[in-house]
Structure 1
Amino acid sequence: MAKRRPTSSAQAGTGSSAMVDRPSPRLRAACGLWHRGRQSDATALFAEAIRQEPNNVQSYVVAARAYGERFHFDRMEQTLQKLVRQAPRHPGVHHYIGETYGSLKLPERAVASYEHAAQLPGAGPPTWMELASLYERAHRLDEAEALIERAVRSGYDLPLVWLIRGRIQRRQKQLEKAETAFRTVIERGAAHPDWACEAWSELALMKDAQGDYDGAIEAIAECQRSQRSREAVHLAVSEKGFQFMQNLVDSISRDDFRRWRDEAAATVPERVALLTGFPRSGTTLLEQVLDAHPDLVSSEERDFIGNELLRTMTTHRANKPILEVLRELEAPQIAAERQRYFQSMEYLLGEPIAGRMHLDKNPAYNLTIPLVLRLFPEAQLLVALRDPRDVVLSCYLRYLPLNAVSVRFLDIRRAAERYALDMSAWLKFREMIEAPWCEIRYEDTVSNVENQARRALETLGLPWDAQVLNYRQRLTETKQVTSPSYEAVIQPIYTKAIGRWKHYERIMEPALETLEPFIREFGYD
């Protein structure tokens, strides 16, 4: 979800005059300590902020989001509950809570908070529009449109109105109206570059679907032109992080994987698996198929191992190679992190795992496989494959908020280089690891989903269950997908995306030499 404008404290309700909404030096200092790994000091300062400014919404929200970012969900919930007790009928309070859940990819909880806010006196268009955005992603298009119309009637006219309306119109095949809406976002988007970028990306995907491939290229180029003006910081982080992980890929050995597996022999094994590959390789489709199995539950892109575990392990060890850190981990620390992992996943799932196989779906986790197998040497691996040319093109054509991964997709050559880095790591690891693994090709899945589901379930040690073939029913009735594929995955399986790169050969040319070894290796030549 794109970043939205901060909630206005003007969204006031009963008793709201006692509440303020402002940053403070104390909170900035606490955040600085938190991000430097000084959690005890930061926690004390967050608590002091609440004591000193109990009527400042930010005292609670900033602390809660810091806790959530580091998977301290009990502390996050306690802080949010304090805020609700302080101002139970302040719509802005519940709006902020909705934003907090949204940032954690908890759409059902975010919707509940926004709906609560919307029912309170003083609620206004910012809440209605966030709710409309979530309704659209949940395929509740009529309800989303009703909220948009309500916002427009109130005089609210930010570009977000037209962005969400355009998406709804595109999905309803009102393509001329959708294009007009997206171009309205672009015309008014100077102060909101992310919304304008999303609109350009929507136009690119529309043009692609209509067979106007030159139009798609022109539209995505406009999106990327804006993003490139803000890429420097993300590129620097990306370069540093990739070099850090490349050192791990280069230095790890078969003996490391074997030793970790032997060390874990006395540990009670957990039922856990990783689904990875590369973004836009069909991981979402495969995950949703498998998640319909009654003895499996999946977590969608919860970055505990590659983010939280990595930060925990390297805090105060910044100068040590990551492989050395992994080798030095002792059994009690590993046991504690395994427990914290499952506690975190159960919170995010909103239900106990209860002995089921837990499938951790993270498409950008190839480089992280050593961390996964250090924490869970007993894990099984599923690796999604797709024609590398289609993968890189799909990454290039789609808007994603800038981060250390997506910044690589603003240039077709850089996207191919990132693909090569990740898939080279997998080719090395698969020759070393003893964990069960299976490669699942997207093209084979859309051709015969049952066959590929059987292969995956066999690797996971699960029996066949025909419920996996009814995965679309669950997606439209009970489960919401938070990945960029949320719209496509509810559609009947289609093959039109296979070979899509051939329509874009003129922009793919700089990537082909880099991708050639993988095209051959994975059988796409």
Structure 2
Amino acid sequence: MTDKPSPSSADLAARMLAAYHRGDIAAVLALGEPIATLDDVDETALLLLGAAQQSSQRLHEAMATFRRLVQRKPAAAEYWNNLAVVARQLGDADAAEDALRRAVALAPQEAQIHYNLGLLYAEQQRWMQAREALLDAVALVPAFIDARLQAAHACYACGDHRGEQEMLQGAADWPPQPAEQALLLATMLSAQGEQATAFRVIEQAVLPADESARIMRWRIAALRASMHERSNQLDLAEAELARVPLHEVDAALSQSPALATAAWQAHAAVAAQRADTEHAASLYRRMLELSDGPDTRATAAFGLAGVMNKQGRHKEAWLAAQTAHAAQWDIASALAPELTVEGSQPLAMAGQRVSHVEFDRWTTLHAPRNADSPVFVVGFPRSGTTLLEQMLDAHPDFRSMDERDFVYELIHRMQAAGQSYPQDLGRLAQDEAEQLRSLYLDMSRRVVPDLGQRRLVDKNPLNMLCLPMIARLFPEARIVMCLRHPCDVLLSCYMLPFRAPPFMVLCSSLKRLAEGYVQAFEQWYHHVEVFAPRVLEWRYESVVSRFDEHVARLGQFLEIADAAPMASFAEHARAKGYISTPSYAQVTQGIHARAVNRWHAYREHFEPVLPILRPMLERLGYEA
């Protein structure tokens, strides 16, 4: 091999480059193939030949050409990246990963290489690795929109809500996306409550130029239907579904399983809301039969469990829920294997406590008065927090912001600054506390820019585990603790999907749920004794049976002159549209007793965990 190519080789490379720029791929191939195996071929000529072979879908030949390049110049990250792209196209994931890892080591500053590695991991559903690689790409080039979109998807798959939101900041200003990416982006924005932006994204989607555009239009209509159903706009959802008739979906099944999954799910959700449970069940069963991964299987099985429960077919409902949890266990095992080992603690925050002695050492800080503090609505998930939130939001003096993890973000910021939580809360200086409060209010105002003079309602059930932070920053705040029979709470949690891996694990069995429930309330009552916060216990069963009385009691607690508007919460929820929690449909139906003692139909499954729950049942005043 010669170190310097001959003039004829350099001339050949120049001719190939000119042909490549003209888009004359056939000429590039004709010029390059006769000299492909020669030792003194110009590297540029080999690179152009490989690109032309790849463009012509002659992938095995392109693979061989790029292998020659990395052998000749193993320190060139670009060549390893090219080799990886072709290997990925050929389905050789191991070769692609090896090449990309070499490229990253050689050029760690190249965002495109990190991006390609992230895409490879995403294709394999290795979401934690995909998230890391894609976040690295964004860190290098923050304006890399494709990387931000795919990083947001990886965060979404990992249950990293904070990371997903950060990656999607400014998405409303992104240029129109190709249809596949637009569907993904709109799905994530919709789940964050950004409905208007989500609809605009799919309106502007760039459709493919070939026959697949027809199927893509159906997929877009199915997503629009799901978004309308999720906002309780059933007439609009049905209008969209009229564009996606099921017989057309069935005919296109071999072409697009993704269409079938989206269409069946949308049709099933609307049918369930319309009380057409037989039709909904048949569609969820079809989804289960077709499911190609644990996400689809879990979605279908949870949907089927809900429909079977509505029909009173409790054994089938329980079996469907078990199928769903088995699928979610597979997801959690891949994303957070440490949570699936025996003795793990999914609710890690439940172990954080401040003692009486530690609280006694807290320095005194100036803090907002009650009228200038948020109202915190807390409780174990599925205890009626969404119902109460909508009641408060229906009152003109209050404004809720749906479910946000802003208090957890404050804890994260403390820890990122090198402070321990909750140990260092007592040592916060006045300016540090003010910074945390300002951060909290800034995040809140981005969600509710029209807050004005209304009081903020922060409804996040598991803020009950963050009482030390609330007590430090907003010691005068009113807190409403939502209570419901623990067995009804656990059953509801077991029958519904959660995206965060810790909650997937926590809800995977009644035993884990019962243990987590007791741990959460033991910590809560410990901190109530330590901090003596202003708390109203809001008991679901009592509210159902004596609604007006409890509305008046809530008004007195919050010092509201006229609590009457809260009684119109169902109408308010219907008008509001998107509600992020699983009870988005129930809160539009008004007060009813159907959810009281629902666990009795599943009592045989609860008998083994009643001993775990009994001390808390007695403390809360419930009977087993």
- Fold in common (TM above 0.5): yes
Relative to the length of structure 2, the TM-score reads 0.69
Q: Which amino acid aligns with 1:358?
A: L
Deviations 1:262-307 (A, max 9, x none): 312588973212111101111111111111111111122200112x
| Alignment counterpart, residue 286 of structure 1, candidates 360, 381, 388 | 388
1:63-102 residue CA offsets vs partner (Å, 9 max, x unmatched) = 7788995589899544652x32xxx485566545424423
Q: 1:329 to 1:120 in 2, by over 3 A?
A: farther
Match of 1:276 in 2: 378
The whole-number CA distance in structure 1 between the counterparts of 2:365 and 2:466 is: 20
Q: In the aligned structure 1, how far is the partner of 2:532 from the partner of 2:275?
A: 49
Name the CA shift for 1:237/1:220 in 2 (closer, same or farther; >3 Å). Answer: closer
Task: Determine the structure 1 residue equivalent to 2:522.
Answer: 424
Compute the displacement of 1:212 (Å). 1.9
Q: In 1, distance between residues paired with 2:371 and 2:275?
A: 50
Written as runs of structure 1 = structure 2, the 5 A alignment for 1:74-93 is 77-78=169-170, 81=173, 83-84=174-175, 88=176
Equivalent position to 1:390, from 477, 485, 488: 488
Distance of 2:387 and 2:433 partners within structure 1: 32
User: 2:65 maps to which residue?
Assistant: none
Change (3 A) 1:223 1:476: same
- Post-superposition offset of 1:46: 2.5
2:221 counterpart letter in structure 1: W
CA, structure 1 residues 112+473, in 2 after alignment: closer, same or farther (shift >3 Å)?
farther
> Partner of 1:314 in structure 2?
415
Match runs of 1:75-474 below 5 Å: 77-78=169-170, 81=173, 83-84=174-175, 88=176, 95=183, 97-117=185-205, 124-152=217-245, 153=248, 155=252, 156=256, 157-189=259-291, 191-232=292-333, 233-234=335-336, 236-237=338-339, 244-249=348-353, 252-254=354-356, 257=359, 262-265=364-367, 270-306=372-408, 308-315=409-416, 317=418, 321-349=420-448, 351-474=449-572
Q: How many aligned residue pairs are there?
A: 484
Contact 1:136 1:168 in 2 (8 A): yes
Separation in structure 1 between the aligned mates of residue 117 and residue 326 of structure 2, nearest angstrom: 35
Cα 1:377–1:241 change in 2 (3 A) is: farther
Q: CA deviation at 1:131?
A: 1.6
Classify 1:120/1:264 alpha carbon distance in 2 versus 1 (closer, same or farther; 3 Å): farther
Give me the whole-angstrom Cα distance separating, in 2, the residues matched to 1:35 and 1:60: 10
Contact 2:480 2:537 in 1 (8 A): yes
Post-superposition offset of 1:417 = 0.5
How far the C-alpha of 1:456 sits from its partner, in A, is 2.4
Query: d(CA) in 2 for partners of 1:126 and 1:243?
Result: 37
Cα displacement (A) at 1:230 = 3.0
Task: Using the TM superposition, give the Cα deviation of residue 127 of structure 1 relative to its aligned residue in structure 2, in angstroms.
Answer: 2.7
CA-CA distance at 1:241 after TM superposition: 6.5
Equivalents in 2 of 1:178, 1:229: separation in Å?
Answer: 25
What's the CA shift for 1:486? 0.6
How much has 1:260 moved relative to structure 2? Answer: 5.5
Distance 1:474 1:71, change over 3 A: farther
| Counterpart in the other structure of 2:140 | 45
Cα deviations across residues 383-424 of structure 1 (Å, max 9, x unaligned)? 000111111121112233352123211101000001001111
- Secondary structure at the counterpart of residue 150 of structure 1: coil
Residues 276 and 384, structure 1, Cα contact 8 Å, conserved in 2 = yes
- After superposition, what is the alpha-carbon deviation per residue over 1:202-236, rounded to whole angstroms, capped at 9, x for unaligned? 22222222222222222212222222233334463
**1:144 aligns to what SS in structure 2?**
helix
The whole-number CA distance in structure 2 between the counterparts of 1:74 and 1:506 is 45
State, as a whole percentage, how many aligned pairs show the same letter: 27
Partner SS state of residue 372, structure 2 = coil
- Asked if structure 2 preserves the Cα contact closer than 8 Å seen for 1:160 and 1:195, the reply is no
Q: Is the 8 A contact 2:370 2:476 kept in 1?
A: no
Equivalent position amino acid for 2:505 in 1: V
Distance in 2 separating the partners of 1:73 and 1:224: 26
Name structure 1 gaps, 5 residues minimum: 1-21, 51-56
Read off the aligned partner of 1:275 and give its amino acid letter: V
Q: Which has the larger radius of gyration?
A: 2
Contact map agreement 2:406 2:440 (CA 8 A) in 1: yes
SS in 2 for 1:262: coil
Which whole-Å CA distance do the structure 2 matches of 1:411 and 1:464 have between them?
44
Structure number with higher relative contact order (C-alpha < 8 Å, ≥ 6 residues apart): 1
Displacement of 1:459: 2.3
Q: 1:423 aligns to what SS in structure 2?
A: helix
Alignment-derived partner of residue 601 in structure 2: 503
Measure the CA separation in 1 of the matches of 2:315 and 2:151. Answer: 47
Counterpart residue type for residue 245 of structure 1: M
Runs of 4+ in 1 over 4 A off after TM superposition: 27-36, 41-44, 62-80, 88-97, 118-123, 237-244, 255-261, 265-269
TM-score w.r.t. length of structure 1: 0.81
Name which of structure 1's ranges 412-421 and 111-120 shifts more when overlaid on structure 2: 111-120
Give the unaligned 5+ runs of structure 2: 1-88, 90-110, 119-126
2:582 counterpart SS class? coil
Distance 1:42 1:274 in 2: 38
Aligned-pair CA distance for 1:149: 4.2
RMSD (CA atoms): 3.6
User: Which residue of the partner structure matches residue 6 of structure 1?
Assistant: none
Q: Is the 8 A contact 1:382 1:437 kept in 2?
A: yes
Contact 1:197 1:227 in 2 (8 A): yes
What amino acid is the match of 2:535? W
Distance (whole Å) between structure 1 residues aligned to residue 522 and residue 301 of structure 2: 33
CA contact (8 A) 1:128 1:148 kept: yes
